[in-house]
Structure 1
């Protein structure tokens, strides 16, 4: 019998792969909804549909159809209906679908669309979030006919937070919360004014709606998120946090007596680990359950594939005291069990990335979404008591059976100053003992993020083209405790650079198949900064690709949507300390660069604006250095993850071709 050779993975395979996210188990734990996202090659657009899985028979049925974005399915309390969001009318609106079938009914027609649906406990109302400019209310309807003419007008700016990556320039609107009566269609707007309010959850007894907001008047220098309880009957507010941190992911015990929160007091600014908190309504007491636990609560894994991942908060059990949650730990996301007495232990710990979790209210069985370096992602049932899992979807089965994935071998080694470091090495496709192979070093963004045991399409394309791929979590990464993640602040280009170079040295000493004369390096955002830094401090790499990078902290301070505070938090310097900002700027060392450098950047990147790339390109060209500058139109900081598919693919091909040419 002839055995077909597996195909190698290439950039264009993004058109074939499907992303499965957001499992939602119903209240009796017998059924699960999920969202499947694909790419339409003809239109070059993403489309999503909602699927149903019977957890007893494992029968699957599709509940929405077409090439629109249908997502965020949420069961009604009695499990007979589902509310979801769809852009089929033009904007994201609420739609209601009966479990028995039939056409979905559109519930909202708001001018700016809606997000984040939350059912009332009696199933008669749905709360949601929408965006309103001054003068707009829930009475303003979505226009059926778009005005195609651009009415240009001046943008008047008085606040420093006037732009944000992905959203663009602030248009004077605010996020507010409203409730719709399903039977009558009547809507009530709960929040108004010049402030953003974000919907969290509704108490099971129907009395309170939990909302998060920052009500400090000086928004430019405020970075908190408080939790408020809105009393639906008395129509008053109560703040339950102390305006000293960032809190969210609000969940309720079944008896409505306690609230679970995830957040921090921001002791280390944005490098602070998130912790578990419980608020007791009867005693009016907020308590941190994990003050000494040196693990980050939540999913902080970096990836370039999944679309629309939803990370839950603390999911409570029937006893009103126990819960399950996700945490990031040593390159994995782990399902943990905990209770209000402080007990915490893993329910599911393995070399994998758990990027979705739903229980339906019972702590006996859950549905989890899991990815590994060789598995883009699927859903599994998880017995929370035994840890036993069973795969229940195979959304990329045909692709997996016909393509070859490269395994990621875990690495553990010591830095030159004795810190424990962790990473992975992928062998190239077609690996043969005794042969030498080039290596590409990958550096993640953040820096407060985490490479994980998760699928990375970029890595697979590099391995497919004959490269070994090295990726590690240097100082500053999440997953290894508070001291580790905080260590990079004020030391960009210091010990973090040494960690990365120590990883390269470790691989060269340990694996004799790596050709030390054929090394490449790439990374995006912070990884782009570090790529720039590396080629300015060593010429050991034959080629480099810097993506959405930082090259000049002085200009970054004023042009980035986060620059004026991020530089202060991370470099620990401001415009009163130009010397320190310049010392940590890769542009300072551009005269040392000998490595051929490809510069990739999105035109509408407001996080690391394209002027950072422009400066670097001109500084290199004026010195006759080997470089190329590629600008991606209409693309923001998220190009590699959720950008226009054709441009994501073009970007991957630029990276691979640069290394094929120069390494």
Structure 2
């Protein structure tokens, strides 16, 4: 009798879930693209308020709008918008008294973005602070609130803005157009590198000229100088700034490069190096300097240098001003720090890190040691952590999951449930039939634990058999996350009735440093073996998957893997490859990064070690048989178009049914609204052609074996 009641309860529960799903509809591209996009919060020093950006997207680029919003951190009132200009704002910073905001924006007749200051206490419109011909970004108030430091990209020989205006005019009036280089790198993502360099400036809030703190210094004259775009932070006494910069970027063709921490006086002068060795050889890399609330500790990210391509980021705590190392903050199992912010007391620091498809909040000590995980969402991620408060820490972050677009939440340092402070997209997402990501693990043939997530299609019926779409993430040193994704949205890709499988193959982050490093010397075969094994495991575990109907796809490194599968298996009915290399050798010579590929593959390409010969997809072209959709951005310099053209030539030579799409205005990603809509439609049409819709088979019937 009790068993009968239990079965009846389960049946009723399933019926209720079915009724809820029936009230919801399948996601469309319009749902995804037009969903409000909430940015990371910045908490005020007093901890009472937080400011963040919200984008109202549009398919028309000129009609998208990004504005700043403010919300009380105690949840006592809803968020309210505080800017209304047509252009968006970025790089928001609070004044020490929590009364004013500085941000970068292009307003009115500005040709370049400038620094603006909004007085929240006084009200009214924001007032422009800077008027540099080269623009301004990354503002930060001095401890007394009387000055603002920021960055600007200027000509190397310039000493002031008049110089920059003159040099820009000379460049514009040249009768020839040519790019000239004497070192490496020369490109980055979708841009050719020019001769300009980022420098740190200071300007009084009350008015006056901006001062270039690095003008004329020996540091900026080094051919390998490159300052981090995040700019600098003020020292507690307001007499200097600390920033991260490289002095060996020009060695990137034959060596790893690194960044050190530097200090420069608020009136300028020659910067003093605070970290690293005397020689400019690559060593540990430091970045993101931040002072603890007590002004006695300087925290910074630290990525050690080793013979491995991948090394997890730690944190280092330095006594200020002695610079004696107090300790290094590690994460369990060698996970990598994603974001961090010091506590008001200066003795603790809050940080986030990837953890098996999620991102959790940790607390570390300035004395060093392993940070303790204190908050992990039931599903999804906490990212963009920001800490304020005069005494007790007020911790805000962004929360999101595969079914929930990003919103602002307040986290409790004691581990109590997070409190949601915003709901910009919640109602729209709730109307959609979005199945949560399901996690499972298995052991691969090498004895490594492999993590996967599975997403069921809309209108899921356990009595049906569904095709399997295997997605492969890029990187490789990233991971599939329980996250609201714009570019490869799990639910939109599976909307036609496909089960979506997301596997974190060997080399993925979020599973410890050793796991991420294990891909070195085995860039394609090992990860692809994990992909295929995960598909087998999913088919074995889930009776509703039709093992006879599988397709696989990915972008960037995921595209590399798709091209490797093209030459090594016929199990997939079709493939989708975006920005995927087909030739390791030409990728080494044409990408915007080269040396790390050489190290990862076991030596220079001309030595023709085993990886270059045995794990190069183009060498397997005789086995190319699977129909494939190939897409590329013409402005992609990370995986340049030549790899797409090589792949296309091989596919045509082998008479493989295929389709090539090149986006002239896109880079490594497809970022334009209409281009994105077209991309998703092309993928949907391609998958439907080879997989078809879900079929109403009994879930217990045997599936045809995979080829």
TM-score (norm 2): 0.86
- Residue 607 of structure 2 is aligned with which of 577, 580, 601? 577
- Residue 258 of structure 2 is aligned with which of 219, 224, 229? 224
Rounded to whole Å, the distance in 2 between the matches of 1:469 and 1:660 is 14
Task: Give structure 2 stretches of 5+ with no counterpart.
Answer: 1-18, 278-282, 692-707
636 and 225 in structure 1: CA distance in 2 versus 1, 3 angstrom threshold: same
Which residue is equivalent to 1:358?
A: 386
- Residue 105 of structure 1 is aligned with which of 124, 127, 130? 127
24 and 217 in structure 1: CA distance in 2 versus 1, 3 angstrom threshold: closer
Partner secondary structure for residue 660 of structure 2: strand
Which residue is equivalent to 1:376?
A: 405
In the TM superposition, residue 81 of structure 1 has moved relative to its aligned partner by 0.8
In the TM superposition, residue 411 of structure 1 has moved relative to its aligned partner by 1.1
Rounded to whole Å, the distance in 1 between the matches of 2:174 and 2:630 is 32
Verify: 1:207 aligned to 2:239, yes or no.
yes
Which residue is equivalent to 1:304?
A: none
477 and 136 in structure 1: CA distance in 2 versus 1, 3 angstrom threshold: same
Verify: 1:660 aligned to 2:688, yes or no.
yes
Which residue is equivalent to 2:66?
A: 48
* 8 Å contact from structure 1 (residues 37, 49) kept in 2: yes
Partner secondary structure for residue 351 of structure 2: strand
Partner secondary structure for residue 264 of structure 2: strand
Verify: 1:651 aligned to 2:679, yes or no.
yes
In the TM superposition, residue 91 of structure 1 has moved relative to its aligned partner by 2.4
In the TM superposition, residue 40 of structure 1 has moved relative to its aligned partner by 2.6
* 8 Å contact from structure 1 (residues 421, 499) kept in 2: yes
Rounded to whole Å, the distance in 2 between the matches of 1:269 and 1:179 is 39
- Residue 59 of structure 1 is aligned with which of 67, 78, 90? 78
- Residue 130 of structure 1 is aligned with which of 146, 149, 152? 152
In the TM superposition, residue 401 of structure 1 has moved relative to its aligned partner by 3.3
Rounded to whole Å, the distance in 2 between the matches of 1:78 and 1:470 is 49
234 and 249 in structure 1: CA distance in 2 versus 1, 3 angstrom threshold: closer
Verify: 1:121 aligned to 2:143, yes or no.
yes
Which residue is equivalent to 1:307?
A: none
Partner secondary structure for residue 539 of structure 2: helix
Which structure 2 residues correspond to residues 140-539 of structure 1 after superposition, within 5 A?
140=162, 153-166=177-190, 168-192=191-215, 193-194=220-221, 195-198=225-228, 199-216=231-248, 218-220=250-252, 221-232=255-266, 235-243=269-277, 244-286=283-325, 288-290=327-329, 293-299=332-338, 311=339, 313-318=340-345, 320-341=346-367, 342=369, 344-350=371-377, 351-361=379-389, 363-457=392-486, 458-539=489-570
Q: Deviations along 1:587-625, whole A, 9 cap, x unmatched?
A: 111221221101010001000001000000011101111
Rounded to whole Å, the distance in 2 between the matches of 1:486 and 1:153 is 43
Verify: 1:95 aligned to 2:116, yes or no.
yes
358 and 290 in structure 1: CA distance in 2 versus 1, 3 angstrom threshold: closer
In the TM superposition, residue 294 of structure 1 has moved relative to its aligned partner by 2.3
4+ residue segments displaced more than 6 Å = 141-145, 147-151
Rounded to whole Å, the distance in 1 between the matches of 2:139 and 2:295 is 20
Rounded to whole Å, the distance in 2 between the matches of 1:347 and 1:268 is 33
In the TM superposition, residue 291 of structure 1 has moved relative to its aligned partner by 5.7
* 8 Å contact from structure 1 (residues 364, 385) kept in 2: no
Rounded to whole Å, the distance in 1 between the matches of 2:631 and 2:160 is 42
138 and 64 in structure 1: CA distance in 2 versus 1, 3 angstrom threshold: farther
Partner secondary structure for residue 271 of structure 1: coil
* 8 Å contact from structure 2 (residues 336, 354) kept in 1: yes
Partner secondary structure for residue 369 of structure 1: strand
- Residue 540 of structure 1 is aligned with which of 562, 568, 571? 571
Partner secondary structure for residue 470 of structure 1: strand
Structure 1 or 2, whichever has the larger Rg, is 2
Q: Deviations along 1:130-160, whole A, 9 cap, x unmatched?
A: 1012444552488999x99997512222212
Which residue is equivalent to 1:303?
A: none
* 8 Å contact from structure 1 (residues 323, 363) kept in 2: no
Rounded to whole Å, the distance in 2 between the matches of 1:237 and 1:149 is 34
* 8 Å contact from structure 1 (residues 437, 513) kept in 2: yes
Partner secondary structure for residue 536 of structure 1: helix
In the TM superposition, residue 471 of structure 1 has moved relative to its aligned partner by 0.3
Q: Deviations along 1:615-658, whole A, 9 cap, x unmatched?
A: 0001110111111110011211133xxx2222222222222221
537 and 74 in structure 1: CA distance in 2 versus 1, 3 angstrom threshold: same
In the TM superposition, residue 525 of structure 1 has moved relative to its aligned partner by 0.9
21 and 493 in structure 1: CA distance in 2 versus 1, 3 angstrom threshold: same
Q: Which moved more, 1:408-417 or 1:261-270?
A: 261-270
In the TM superposition, residue 297 of structure 1 has moved relative to its aligned partner by 3.3
User: Across the two proteins, how many residue pairs are aligned to each other?
Assistant: 643
* 8 Å contact from structure 2 (residues 400, 407) kept in 1: yes
- Residue 81 of structure 1 is aligned with which of 100, 108, 122? 100
In the TM superposition, residue 660 of structure 1 has moved relative to its aligned partner by 1.1
Rounded to whole Å, the distance in 2 between the matches of 1:259 and 1:169 is 35
TM-score (norm 1): 0.92
Task: Give structure 1 stretches of 5+ with no counterpart.
Answer: 300-310
Partner secondary structure for residue 576 of structure 1: helix
Q: Which moved more, 1:73-82 or 1:264-273?
A: 264-273
Rounded to whole Å, the distance in 2 between the matches of 1:369 and 1:226 is 29
Partner secondary structure for residue 517 of structure 1: strand
Rounded to whole Å, the distance in 2 between the matches of 1:149 and 1:176 is 25
Rounded to whole Å, the distance in 1 between the matches of 2:88 and 2:602 is 42
Partner secondary structure for residue 388 of structure 2: coil
In the TM superposition, residue 112 of structure 1 has moved relative to its aligned partner by 2.8
Q: Deviations along 1:140-185, whole A, 9 cap, x unmatched?
A: 488999x99997512222212111113x112211111111111123
Rounded to whole Å, the distance in 2 between the matches of 1:547 and 1:217 is 29
Q: Which moved more, 1:245-254 or 1:229-238?
A: 229-238
Q: Deviations along 1:165-207, whole A, 9 cap, x unmatched?
A: 13x1122111111111111232110113343223231123213
Rounded to whole Å, the distance in 2 between the matches of 1:532 and 1:155 is 33
Rounded to whole Å, the distance in 1 between the matches of 2:270 and 2:344 is 29
Rounded to whole Å, the distance in 1 between the matches of 2:664 and 2:249 is 36
In the TM superposition, residue 101 of structure 1 has moved relative to its aligned partner by 2.0
Rounded to whole Å, the distance in 2 between the matches of 1:407 and 1:512 is 18
Rounded to whole Å, the distance in 1 between the matches of 2:660 and 2:528 is 24
In the TM superposition, residue 399 of structure 1 has moved relative to its aligned partner by 1.3
Q: Deviations along 1:32-84, whole A, 9 cap, x unmatched?
A: 11110121334466431100112342232111114322122211111111101
